[in-house]
A = this chain, B = another copy of it.
Amino acid sequence: MTDHLLGMTGLSKVDIFRYLDVAQAFVEVSERDNKKVPDLRGKTVVNIFFEPSTRTLASFDIAGKRLSADTINVNASSSSMQKGETLLDTVRTIESMNPDVLVIRHSESGAPHFVAKHLTRTAVVNAGDGAHEHPTQALLDLLTIRQHFAAEGRGLEGLRVGFVGDVRHSRVARSNVWAHLALGNKIRLIGPPTLVPADFIKVFGSDDVSVVHNLAEGLQDLDVVVCLRMQLERQDQNFVPNLDEYSKEYCLSERLLMRHAPRSVVLHPGPLNRGTEISGEVADGPRSLVLRQVNNGVAVRMAVLSILAGSVESRTMSLGR
């Protein structure tokens, strides 16, 4: 029976902290002169991305290589899939080459779960599936938040966390909400009714999630603001009538944050649309944790690959070198 990381749904607080603790230990590795540890030497990690990606693919690739794994990047847009092969045949083919971990990104929600159910020897990591989940993003967001509040003597619990923007289509928001619910935090989903439908929270089945359509009101007293990327193609789909108008109402500005959530920090999964969902002043300002998120991303992926490839028991030793 192989372990996978398919989503934050169903992960307990203990599970989450295990990932974060191992990840925190890896943060320091990437700051060394020699950034390589032998943990996954002789292991094979295959990254198969059915959607284009720069940052997530590079992050997994670097994570695998710093662990001394062999990493193989399969560009699935130029792959056999285009020759009519089924997803299952593609991944079974990959599995027959004896990878230890398969990292998959796919535009269809549930694709990694389907794959994991049918593979027998390979750990599967969901690197983003449709509008469904993106668990390593949620973990790196949590690690970033934890580091920030640790400096203030606070933990990851008892926080008020808001998600601003296109919540409806955001796998980042979804994975984060599940995680914050497991940690017992209060969550506010903020955006226009087309992007944050009032009945949307039913899926989470928790009173800890609320919906607010007005940005100023939504920001009130938040500890953490997760600003979501506005996918520009949504405009054509009538979710947003006009980007300029959208920005007037929902672009995160320093002025608004100062007034309503002066002690909050801001996260964004990237890539940024400056001036659309986030002002340059916020993105580059002192409350922005955006680059720290990217930095933690490598550490989180090192942790996930290590844990799933079964090398975590040897961690202390290799970190000690």
Contacts and interface: CB of A to CB of B under 8 A. Distances in A.
A205 interface: no
Interface stretch (A13-21, A74-82, A125-133, A186-194): A74-82
A34 B30 contact: no
Contacts of A95: 291
A153 interface: no
A97 B54 contact: no
Report the interface size class on chain A: 35 or more
Interface in A238-271: 270-271
A89 B271 contact: yes
A58 B94 contact: yes
A271 B97 contact: no
Contacts of A232: 83-84
A96 B66 contact: no
Contacts of A295: 96-98
A36 B90 contact: no
A93 B293 CA distance: 9
Interface string A290-321: 01101101100000000000000000000000
10 contacts: A35-B43, A52-B82, A58-B97, A62-B72, A84-B232, A85-B271, A85-B272, A86-B274, A90-B271, A95-B291
Give the 3 A-B CB pairs with smallest separation, nearest first.
A34-B42, A85-B271, A96-B294
